[in-house]
Each structure stands twice: as structure tokens, then as C-alpha cells.
Amino acid sequence: MRTNINSLLISSDLWGLCRVIETITCLNIGSEYFYCSPLGLFRDNQGLLQRVFKGSVFSSLARYKNESVIVLFRDPREILNILLRDKDIFRRNDLEELISRSGLATRAFYNLLESRDEFDVYVVHPVNDLKRCCEDPRNIPRICRSEMSLVELMILYTRLDLLLRETGASRERIINYARELIRIFNRLSIGSGETDLLIERIARSLF
């Protein structure tokens, strides 16, 4: 199945430095019904991927229902609301209300790429965007897992002179925290030359 190259979901400007974007993904389980769950959307050289953990309701459904709607938000409360709902089944009008609050909603299809012990990996094929808040993908609100670690690391770097006055265990905690932020960012981001140099500069200053 061919991915629609017109969908903003595959735009590099949407992804930026991010390798994982948080989504609410809703499987179409009938003409008027959808099962919705928070799922990370990954990007690598195989395309757009979602990892579905085995034993979950979503995992049971995904093998038989391959049409979905992928919805992006900036506000994590939208994801929290899904997790805390008494029910996970959305009628079409509920889904339309959810989409109305989103930055981007895209209809997509799945196919199974590989099955591992703990999870299945699906390739996501965007078909058409149901909603775009804006035509410039750089302005679409979304939650990127790696960006917060980069922001935290940059804040830490601006306070370096103060922080490195600490000694002993306090200094070690600061350095270990910075190492963890760098590890998280490198694992969850698609690097660029400029960003890699920034990370290297911060690491040289700390370690």
C-alpha cells in the first residue's frame, strides 16, 4: 500500500528532531465505532511505525482491523482523558469531537511488519488528513518525546556555572542527570549536525 505523500504526517518539518510523537490512535472496529488508545508513532528508514504491546485490547484488534485515525495533540490532558475513560469505545461523533480539538488527524492503514515476544510492530500508511490546524507542518502542535529532554539539558547548561560549584554527591547527581538527558535525547531523536554539536559541547563542559 502506498503512503500518501500529501499527508503532513510524513513531513520532515512536522517531525523536526523527533523520532517518537505521541498520538491517540483510533482503530475503526465498525462503521460507527472506534477503539482509541495512546500510542507512540515512530519514524525510521522503514517509514512510520507503531509498536503495539501484546495482551492489550488494541493488540487483539489490530490484527483484524487495519484502518485507523491518528490524532496529534499538544495538550497531554487529551491523552490522560483517554487513559482515564471508563470506556475505550468511541462512536463516530465522539471521534469527530476529539478530532476537532486536535492539531492534525490522519486516516491511515496498517500492515504487520514484525512480531516480537512483547510487542508487534506495524507500518503505518497515511491515506488522507481529516484535519489540519495549519498548512505549515512546523506549526502543528504535537508532543515529541525527545524535545523535553533537550530543553531540560539546555536549561541545565545555562546554569552550569552555578551547578558546578556543587561538590561531592550533589555534583555527581547533576552530572548523572545530564548524562541521562543526553541518553534519552539521543535515543528518541533524529539528530542534525547543529544539534549534535550542541550536545557534544554540553557533554564536554560537564564530563
Q: What is the DSSP string of 73-97?
A: -S-HHHHHHHHH-S--EEEHHHHHH
The CA–CA distances, whole Å, from 187 to 58, 69, 90 equal: 25, 27, 33
| Cα–Cα distance for residue pair 140/133, rounded to 1 Å | 7
Asked if the model's pLDDT at residue 3 lies above 80, the reply is no
| Cα–Cα distance for residue pair 182/176, rounded to 1 Å | 10
To the nearest whole number, what is the mean pLDDT of the chain? 90
Quick check: 62 and 109 in contact, CB under 8 A?
A: no
| Cα–Cα distance for residue pair 41/38, rounded to 1 Å | 10
Q: Which residues on adjacent β-strands are paired with residue 44? A: 47
Residues 6+ apart with CB under 8 A from 112: 63, 120, 121, 122, 123
Instruction: State the pLDDT at residue 132.
Output: 96
| Cα–Cα distance for residue pair 161/69, rounded to 1 Å | 48
C-alpha of 133 from chain center: 18
Element (H, E) at 145: helix 145-158
Quick check: 40 and 144 in contact, CB under 8 A?
A: no
Count the neighbouring beta carbons within 10 Å of the beta carbon of residue 114: 11
Average pLDDT over residues 135-147: 93
Q: What is the pLDDT of residues 148-177, one digit of tens each?
A: 899 999 998 888 777 778 778 888 888 899
Instruction: State the pLDDT at residue 46.
Output: 85
| Cα–Cα distance for residue pair 135/42, rounded to 1 Å | 22
| Cα–Cα distance for residue pair 163/61, rounded to 1 Å | 50
Asked if the model's pLDDT at residue 182 lies above 80, the reply is yes
Q: What is the pLDDT of residues 11-69, one digit of tens each?
A: 999 999 999 999 999 999 988 999 999 999 999 888 999 999 998 889 999 988 899 99
Residue with cell 552550569: 160
Q: Read off the pLDDT band of 8 (50, 70, 90).
A: very high
